[in-house]
């Protein structure tokens, strides 16, 4: 009896296992009911796996015929499968189908790497704005002006939305919307930064060819210079050494209270002219040196001597925009003009003689006849003032005190030969 019970139990267990296996296999190979259409495709009688394969093949075949065109004027960017991919809902729908009928399973198209593609398109179409600017000319019109142009950039957010809209619809052509990037400056702004601030002129003897040649040479080396904001201009650094090798010739210079021949004579008139133009333009004078003797081409306390590499003229551009310097020579004149952005003030200079120094007794030298070899001059003590005015208000500032030496006459007297005659 016990053996029969065990045998019966084993038989029942085996039947249960067989039934479970059959049920499992039948469920696994369940086919869709006849007359089942998904997105217009007949999938009746197919397993779910086969149905998904058929449906996806159909989607891909149709997608291969589609093109996404993104246009901007004459430029066209075109994308197709597999750059355009899709996401379906077949896995969600098919297990729910229990009877034949017409079903819809949404398919969503997407542009793979859309963000990177949009970045590339925007970079390709981007055009930076070009600000208006001026070119400084050493001759002719001081400046040549260029208007510049506005820039262009893509409306990135709108392009992304329009791509999605096209993929959701009928793959309509996408037109790229752009925005204008306005220039920050106008031509008038540039002209305001390049106006003539001040022009100063001194005069020389054009017949003194060596001296006037030195003046013209030094002027040519400065003419056309641009001094950036915060930059310091050095006369010596710009003109270079006054040597024969650099093209300078011997002419009268002031040395230790005397007029002597030296290479580059006349160059101090260039530095003095530039010094006055810089002062009257409101620039910051960093370094200057007076002559030991008063010069004739400017009033006392308005000169600026340069010599070797030790005595320099330096001024700093204290504006926020560049300063432009022109130095041009006429037949017997030198003119220095400073261009840039005005600081709103008007400047003038005042020279005041505070004391006169008598000339020393004449220096007597022997010669063949009586005559004055060189005329001396009185010395001068003076002060220089910078007058600054705006809106009816005026300030007068002492900027320098100077002392110029007196010079004795040099008189030649004929030697007394009477003793020899007797």
- Assign 3-class secondary structure to the chain: CHHHHHHHHHHHHHHHHHHHHHHHHHHHCCECCCCEEECCEECCCCEHHHHHHHHHHHHHHHHCCCCEEEEECCEEEEECCCCEEEEECHHHHHHHCCCCEEECCCEEEEECCHHHHHHHHHHHHCECCECCEEEECCCCCCEEEECCECEEEECHHHHHHHHHHHHHCCCCCEECCEEEECCCCCHHHHHHCCEEEEEEEEECCCCCHHHHHHHHHHHHHHCCEEECCCCEEEHHHHHCCCCHHHCCCEEEEEECCEEEEEECCCHHHHHHHHHHHHHHCCCEEEECCCCCCCCCCCCCCCCCCCECCCECCEEECCCCCCEEEEEEECCCEEEEEEEECCCCCEEEEEEEEEEEECCCCCEEEEECCCEEEECCECEEEEEEEEEEEECCEEEEEEEEEEEECCECCEEEEECCCHHHHC
Report which of residues 372 and 353 the model is more confident about.
Answer: 353
- Which pLDDT score, from 0 to 100, does residue 16 have? 44
Write down the pLDDT at residue 73.
82
Confidence of residue 387 (pLDDT cuts 50, 70, 90): very high
Stretch 142-147: mean pLDDT, rounded?
Answer: 96
The angle formed by the CA atoms of residues 254, 256 and 260, to the nearest 5 degrees, is: 40
The pTM of the full predicted model, rounded to 2 decimals, is 0.74
Identify the band that residue 5 occupies on the pLDDT scale cut at 50, 70 and 90: low
Strands 363-367 and 410-414 come out as parallel
pLDDT interval class at 412 (50, 70, 90):
confident
Sorting pLDDT into bands at 50, 70 and 90, what band is 4?
Answer: very low
pLDDT of res. 264: 73
Cβ-contact 320, 341 below 8 angstroms:
yes
Tokens of 422: 């007797």
142-149: long-range contacts at Cβ-Cβ below 8 A with a sequence spacing of 24 or more? Answer: 142/194, 142/196, 142/324, 142/326, 142/337, 142/339, 143/194, 143/324, 143/339, 145/187, 145/190, 145/191, 147/187, 148/183, 148/185, 149/183
Mean pLDDT of all residues in the chain?
A: 89
Rounded average pLDDT over 164-184: 94
Q: Where are the domains of the chain?
A: 28-127+154-177, 193-419
Q: How confident is the model at residue 22 (pLDDT cuts 50, 70, 90)?
A: very low
pLDDT, residue 179, reads 93
Report residue 422's pLDDT band, with 50, 70 and 90 as the boundaries: very low
Does the CA dihedral 275-279-282-283 come out positive or negative?
A: positive
pLDDT tens digits, residue range 25-40?
334 458 999 999 999 9
Average pLDDT of the residues in 289-306: 95
Both tokens assigned to 213 = 């040649």
């Amino acid at each position: 009896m016990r053996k029969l019970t065990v045998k019966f139990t084993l038989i029942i267990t085996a039947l249960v296992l067989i039934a479970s296996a059959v049920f499992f296999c039948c469920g696994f190979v369940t086919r869709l009911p006849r007359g089942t259409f998904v997105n217009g495709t007949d999938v009746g009688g197919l397993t779910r796996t086969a149905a998904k394969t058929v449906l996806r093949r159909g989607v891909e075949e149709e997608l291969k015929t589609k093109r996404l065109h993104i246009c901007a004027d004459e430029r066209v960017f075109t994308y197709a499968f597999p750059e355009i991919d899709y996401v379906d809902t077949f896995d969600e729908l098919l297990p729910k189908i229990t009877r034949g009928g017409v079903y819809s399973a949404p398919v969503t198209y997407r542009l793979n790497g859309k963000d990177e593609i949009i970045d590339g398109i925007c970079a390709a179409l981007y055009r930076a704005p070009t600000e208006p600017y001026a070119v400084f000319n050493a001759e002719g019109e001081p400046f040549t002006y260029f208007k510049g142009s506005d820039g262009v950039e893509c409306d990135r957010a709108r392009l992304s939305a329009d791509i999605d809209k096209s993929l959701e619809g009928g793959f309509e052509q996408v037109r790229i919307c752009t925005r204008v990037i306005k220039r920050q400056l106008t031509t008038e702004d540039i002209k305001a930064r390049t106006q003539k601030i001040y022009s100063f002129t001194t005069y020389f003897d054009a017949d003194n060819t060596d001296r006037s040649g030195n003046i013209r040479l030094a002027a040519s080396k400065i003419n056309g210079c641009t001094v950036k904001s915060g930059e310091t201009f050095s006369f010596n650094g710009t003109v270079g050494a006054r040597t024969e090798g650099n093209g300078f010739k011997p002419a009268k210079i002031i040395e230790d209270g005397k007029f002597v021949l030296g290479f580059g004579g006349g160059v101090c008139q260039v530095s003095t002219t530039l010094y006055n133009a810089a002062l009257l333009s409101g620039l910051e004078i960093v370094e200057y040196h007076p002559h030991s003797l008063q010069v004739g081409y400017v009033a006392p306390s308005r000169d600026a001597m340069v010599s070797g590499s030790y005595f320099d003229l330096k001024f700093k551009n204290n504006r926020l925009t560049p300063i432009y310097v022109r130095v041009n020579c006429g037949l017997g004149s030198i003119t220095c003009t400073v261009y840039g952005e005005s600081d709103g003030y008007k400047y003038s200079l005042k020279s005041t003689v505070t004391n006169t120094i008598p000339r020393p007794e004449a220096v007597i030298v022997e010669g063949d006849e009586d005559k004055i070899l060189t005329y001396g001059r009185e010395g001068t003590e003076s002060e220089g003032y910078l007058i600054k005015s705006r809106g009816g208000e005026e300030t007068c500032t002492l900027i320098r005190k100077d002392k110029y030496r007196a010079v004795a006459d040099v008189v030649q007297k004929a030697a007394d030969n009477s003793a020899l005659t007797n």
